[in-house]
Chain A
Amino acid sequence: CGFQLRGNSSATALPESWRSLYLDTGNPNSEFSREVMARFSANGITWVEEREEAAFILQLGPENFSQRNLSLNREARAAEFELTMQTRFAVLQPDNTAVIEPSGASVVKQMENDPRNVVGKAEEIRILKGEMRTELAQQILRRIGFFAANAAAQQAG
């Protein structure tokens, strides 16, 4: 049915020209920034210290986490929460022209609440937050990887 394993020439493989990135973000040491850096470097990107040395600059916003009651139980208390984590990112060339316009990425999860075990559920939210950071980082990596591969293909094509 036409599926083949993703190879180096595939649409989402990162071309050489994109290998060095500089991270421009509020707190490079936060959990979210480190997650993005780790996911990207695991896919062959090297982070450079100086903005000038980088082929491209990733502008990364902070993680915005919000929580909402999704449904109420028989005691009119929250039976389920909906957790949302959003961020904004853009990719610029060293001369600040945008290669990827500022755009958003978001992840939404649901979880069951237990009004009688607030501490335990707070720990569940902490676990979900970690997973949402990973999924957000992967979402951004896929967007950029795909875009870079396309750009490289067009130049070559």
Chain B
Amino acid sequence: AQESAAEPCPAGDQALCSTDVPPAANAYPLDWVPIREVPEELQDEECRSCRGRYIDPLAGADTGVDPELSDINASAAQTELEGDEVFLHGGVSVEQGYRRLKGKDAYYNRSESRGKLTGGITIREPGILLKGQEASFSSDTGEAEITESQFVLHQQHMRGAARSLRRDAQGLVHVENGALSYCAPGEQDWEIRADEMELDLDEGLGTARGAKVAVGGMPVLYLPWLRFPLDDRRRSGLLWPDIGSDTRGGIDIAAPIYLNLAPNYDALYTPRYIEERGVNNEVELRYLNPAVGSWSVGGAYMETDKRYEDERPEQRDHSRWLGKVEHNGLFGQRWRSRVDYSKASDVDYLKDLQTTNLETRRETSLLQLGSLDYLGDDWLFDLDFQQFQSLADDINNDYQKLPQFTGQYRGEYEPFALEPILLGQYSYFDTDDNRVKGQRIYGEAGVTYPMLWQFGFLKPTAKYRYLEYELTDLGSPGANDSPSTGTPLFSLDGGLYFERQTTLLDRGLLQTLEPRLYYLYSEYEDQSEQPDFDSAELTFTYNQLFRETRFSGRDRLDDADQLSVGMTTRYISEEDGREHLNASIGQIFYFRDRQVRLLSGAEPLDQSSSEMAGEVNFYPNERLTVRGSLVWDPHSTDMNAGNVQASYERDDSSIFSVGYSYRRPLTTIQTENRNQQVTEQAHFSAYVPLGNRWSLFGAVNYSVEAGESVEDMFGVEYDTCCWQVRLLHLRYYDSVTGETLDFNDPNLEQESSTQVQIVLKGMGGFGSRVTGLMEDMIRGYREREY
């Protein structure tokens, strides 16, 4: 047979050359099991792309007991014990707790509890496999030193080789003159070589000094210092650059550097070169401490933006910056604090510099919020400071709540018991424009008596609402500067539950039929003198049928005398109670015109009944989801709003989703004196692995009324065991600096952007532009962490 110890593979230059280390006890060298022999339940996506996976024979071992405290059981062909010295020869195998050692010969000294293994050794603990020529170890501290070593970290999906490998008493693995790779044994795609590496398995972090990243055996990158994750708990040091170019800035390369300063605070610095603009410095600091909650302070700064200088010569200062503070805190489970404050240097910042986060690009305002809540047993108190920075010249700033204080009684819904309704709110509304501003006080006091039975419920509610203002900067001198209103409200909400057993597609189902009636009455009071600080007309949906108000905010007390009729049916699976289908439809019947409107001059609404509103949610199985909603106007017999979304996912992580939405904007929404154009949009997105390492993905948002694709993206992905490349092309319409977009403007040109993403798996390449875009546009797609 082949001479037992393979010719030692010099770890330095052609590392990992030989995988034919003497066949260990189990048949798989380095514990790498080819895919056809991997049990079904262990075949995850990674296993498929690597055509196999590491399987740790000690995976299930009980790691509770410290090996140092367990007996040493050794076996061999021949042994000699002399006083404290033990010699073992011939196929030595030693077990100490969950630790396993194997070799040709072994020597162990009991008093020093130190030993030596020679002749093709293997040391194994759950999660780690060490092989090599010779090893000296200490059984009381777990220290081991191995020459000509190869090692495997099973969970981290990493293997490596080293001239010498040492594990110290704290469990840190020191790799001298070694190499580390995420690729499957035998694959040389890429590895990290370093004079010195330290792997801290507890912290999940590896540090390399004098590191060289070698691709296909060729060193391509030299790094004096490199930190990389050993599991997905931590982001790593050097992250993979985002490379791309787009019509808003030309070539755009960002190289994020992650500084893990301490377990509970880290920093991410991203220098970014933008060809037509200059260098942008993006920083994000994160700090987590139970005493102060979680804080994230970030920002970006660019000295002068060359392109902005050409586009806006009239501006004096051409620096571009963005500041962002985010905070969430919970103290004693009673006090809850939140800060979400963003501020940009100019209205076009997001359009010009957030080129690949479509959601934020389209935002028309930046939230600037600070809030403190007290979550009492019976009372809920909120204190909010909220304002918005407008990101469009044609949109004036919304009112600022500086502050708004709300106190609310927290009901228990205890059946057959009177329950008070109490709410008080003080708000001060300010604005930079010369519009009316001032203080508002809103109060609500009433009682409700919920009655609940198995077959249904009945809930009468009666309350009195009061609203008063103290206004300044009123336009006309004679206007009333302290209008006030107060009206009573009465509502009766009732419903029944009917059930029957039924079957659908030969599956036992319980079908329910839930009719519901809701009568709402509230007195009319003239409120034309009242401003509109934080109110909007609520979107008409099935939920609107059972609401007490048709306005958001608290600037209007509805006048109402109406009856809503609704019906819901559900199909519930008999085995696990999962709901496979629910559908609802309903309508409101008005017994009086609604005179209270947001715009004081607006006509009363005089229809005798509302539109029909319906909703459907259909989940036949784990894979398919279909959702739809419809608002249909029986008077004009046309659809005011309609929406269908369907998404289908398969085990091979392919995703298809289709969507259609149609909406006729409400009369009260002014869109820049254009007539109420319908918004009709179709959506299609998919991520399709082709099975041969290639995957295609794409998304289209097609505006039907404009006959244009508003935004579309197409991309291709090549994914191997240890690296992945994605190429993506994005096209979208957006308003150019200073004007608003109009689709039928003939010389409207489309913006486009091309991005490349290279990920060396295991190096913690986390979300980047391409990932962000895919998660934005492909509905249901969530990136996997490597």
- Point out residues on A near B: beta carbons under 8 Å: 1-8, 10-13, 26-31, 34, 38-39, 41-43, 68-80, 82, 108-112, 114-124, 126-128, 131, 139, 142-147, 150
Q: Chain B's nearest CB lies how many Å from the CB of A121?
A: 5
Give the bracket for the number of chain B residues in contact with chain A: 35 or more
A44 to chain B, nearest CB (A): 9
> Are A6's CB and B498's CB within 8 A?
yes
13 pairs, A vs B, C-beta closer than 8 Å: A2-B502, A6-B454, A42-B452, A71-B663, A74-B741, A112-B669, A118-B388, A121-B536, A123-B553, A127-B547, A127-B552, A139-B579, A143-B577
Q: Please determine whether B740 and A75 come into contact, CB atoms closer than 8 angstroms.
A: yes
Q: Which residue of A lies closest to B510 (CB)?
A: A11
Complex CA gap A147/B574 in Å reads 9
Contact B499 A109 (CB under 8 A): no
B84 within 8 A of A: no
Q: Are B399 and A142 in contact (CB under 8 A)?
A: no
Q: Are A112 and B665 in contact (CB under 8 A)?
A: yes
Question: Are B359 and A5 in contact (CB-based, < 8 A)?
Answer: no
Contact B362 A72 (CB under 8 A): yes
Given A38-B412, A74-B674, are A119 and B553 also a contact pair (CB < 8 Å)?
yes
Decide if B517 is an interface residue (CB 8 Å cutoff): no
Among B356-373, those with CB < 8 Å from A are 358-359, 362, 364-365
Chain B interface residues toward A at CB < 8 A = 330, 333-334, 336, 358-359, 362, 364-365, 375-377, 380, 386, 388, 392, 395-396, 398-399, 401, 410-415, 450, 452, 454-456, 496-502, 510, 512-513, 532-536, 538-539, 541, 543, 547, 552-553, 570, 572, 574-579, 617, 627, 629, 641, 643, 645, 659, 661, 663, 665-666, 669-672, 674, 677, 679, 681, 683, 701, 703, 705-706, 710-711, 732-735, 740-743
Nearest Cβ distance between residue B494 and chain A, in whole angstroms?
14
Q: Beyond A76-B710, A110-B643, A120-B536, is A30–B362 a contact (Cβ under 8 Å)?
A: no
* Contact between chains at A112 and B539 (CB < 8 Å): yes
A27 close to B330 (CB less than 8 A): yes
Given contacts A79-B663, A119-B553, 11 further A-B contacts (CB under 8 A): A2-B501, A6-B497, A27-B330, A30-B375, A42-B415, A69-B359, A80-B663, A117-B398, A120-B534, A142-B579, A147-B576
Q: How far is the CA of A3 from the CA of B512 in the complex (A)?
A: 8
Contact call B536/A71, Cβ cutoff below 8 A: no
- CB nearest neighbor in A for B361: A76
B703 contacts A4, CB within 8 Å?
no
Complex CA–CA separation, A110 to B672 (angstroms)? 23
> Given contacts A109-B541, A127-B538, A127-B552, are A76 and B455 in contact (CB under 8 A)?
no
CA separation between A73 and B585, bound complex, in Å? 27
Are A76 and B733 in contact, with the CB atoms below 8 A? yes
A150 touching B574 by the CB < 8 A rule? yes
Determine the chain A residues whose CB is within 8 A of the CB of B677 once the complex forms.
73-74
| A contact patch SS | mixed
The CA of A69 and the CA of B534, in the complex, are separated in Å by 22
B413 close to A42 (CB less than 8 A): yes
The residue on B at minimum CB distance from A71 is B681
Is there an interface contact between A29 and B398, defined as CB atoms closer than 8 Å? no
In the complex, chain B residues whose CB is within 8 Å of the CB of A120: 532, 534-536, 552-553
Enumerate the 6 nearest inter-chain pairs by beta-carbon distance, A residue then B residue, closest first.
A120-B536, A146-B577, A123-B552, A29-B375, A71-B681, A124-B552
Tell me the smallest distance from the CB of A139 to a CB of chain B, in Å: 7
| Bound Cα distance A123, B743 (Å) | 30
A74 to chain B, nearest CB (A): 6
Is the Cβ of A27 less than 8 Å from the Cβ of B539?
Answer: no
Enumerate chain A residues within 8 angstroms of B401, measured Cβ to Cβ.
119
Please, which residues of chain A bring their CB within 8 A of the CB of B534? 119-120, 122-123
Contact between chains at B536 and A2 (CB < 8 Å):
no
- B496:A5 contact, CB within 8 angstroms: yes
Residues in B neighbouring A41, C-beta threshold 8 A: 412-414
Determine the distance from Cα of A5 to Cα of B453 in the docked complex, in whole angstroms. 11
- Known A68-B359, A69-B359; judge A4-B536 contact (CB<8 A): no
Asked whether A114 lies within 8 Å of B498 as measured between CB atoms, the reply is no
| Residue ID in chain B nearest A8 by CB atoms | B454
A83 to chain B, nearest CB (A): 11
CB of B47, distance to nearest CB on chain A (Å): 24
Complex Cα distance, B657 from A82, in Å, reads 15
Q: Is the CB of B572 within 8 A of A5?
A: no
- Report yes or no: B679 in contact with A73, Cβ–Cβ below 8 A: yes
Contact status B641-A4, CB under 8 Å: no
Are A108 and B627 in contact (CB-based, < 8 A)?
yes
Bound together, the chains give a CA A119 to CA B502 distance in angstroms of 47
CB-nearest residue of chain B relative to A125? B552
Q: How far is the CA of A38 from the CA of B415 in the complex (A)?
A: 10
Determine whether the beta carbon of A74 is less than 8 Å from that of B513. Answer: no
- Contact across chains for A13 and B454 when beta carbons are under 8 A apart: yes
Nearest CB in chain A: distance from B627 CB, A = 6
Chain A positions within 8 Å of B577 at CB level: 142-147, 150
Contacts of A2 in B (CB 8 A): 500-502
Chain A residues, Cβ within 8 Å of B359 = 68-69
Q: How far is the CA of A9 from the CA of B75 in the complex (A)?
A: 65
Q: How distant is the Cα of A71 from the Cα of B362 in the complex, in angstroms?
A: 11
Nearest residue, chain B, Cβ from A73: B679
Q: Complex Cα distance A97/B478, Å?
A: 72
Known A71-B661, A116-B395; contact A77-B364, beta-carbon cutoff 8 A: yes
| Closest chain A CB from B582 CB (angstroms) | 9
Residues A72 and B681 in contact in the complex (CB < 8 Å), given A30-B375, A127-B552: yes
Q: Which residues of A contact B705 (CB under 8 A)?
A: 74
B663: which A residues are within 8 A, CB to CB?
71, 79-80, 112
By a CB distance below 8 angstroms, the chain B residues around A43 are 452
* Residue from the set A118, A139, A142 with the largest chain B CB neighbour count within 10 Å: A118
B362 lies within 8 A of A11 (CB): no
Q: With A5-B497, A110-B539, A142-B577 known to touch, is A70 a contact of B510 (CB < 8 Å)? A: no
Q: A3-B513, A29-B375, A150-B577 are in contact. Are A123 and B410 (CB under 8 A)?
A: no
Residue ID in chain A nearest B554 by CB atoms: A123
> In the complex, which residues of chain A have a beta carbon less than 8 angstroms from the beta carbon of B538?
124, 127
Check if B735 sits within 8 Å of A76, measured CB to CB. Answer: yes
| CA distance in complex: A34, B373 (Å) | 15
- Taking the closest CB of chain A, its distance from the CB of B512, in whole angstroms, is 8
B742 touching A74 by the CB < 8 A rule? yes
How far does the Cβ of A75 sit from chain B's closest Cβ, in whole Å? 5
Q: How far is the CA of A142 from the CA of B574 in the complex (A)?
A: 12
Closest to A34 in B: B410
Residues on the A chain within 8 Å of B376, using CB: 29
In whole Å, how far is A114's beta carbon from the nearest beta carbon of chain B?
Answer: 5
Minimum CB–CB distance from B399 to chain A (whole Å) comes to 6
Q: How far is the CB of A37 from chain B (nearest CB, A)?
A: 9
A38 near B413 with CB under 8 A, answer: yes
In whole Å, how far is B218's beta carbon from the nearest beta carbon of chain A?
44
B643 x A70 contact (CB < 8 A): yes
Minimum CB distance partner of B534 in chain A: A119
Measured CA separation A115–B388 after assembly (Å)? 12
A3 to B666, alpha carbons, bound, how many Å? 39
**Assembled-state Cα–Cα distance A141/B672 (Å):** 46
Interfacial chain B residues near A147, Cβ < 8 Å: 576-577
Task: Select which of A39, A108, A121 is within 8 A of B552 by beta carbon.
Answer: A121
Residue from B499, B572, B706 within 8 A of A3 (CB atoms) = B499
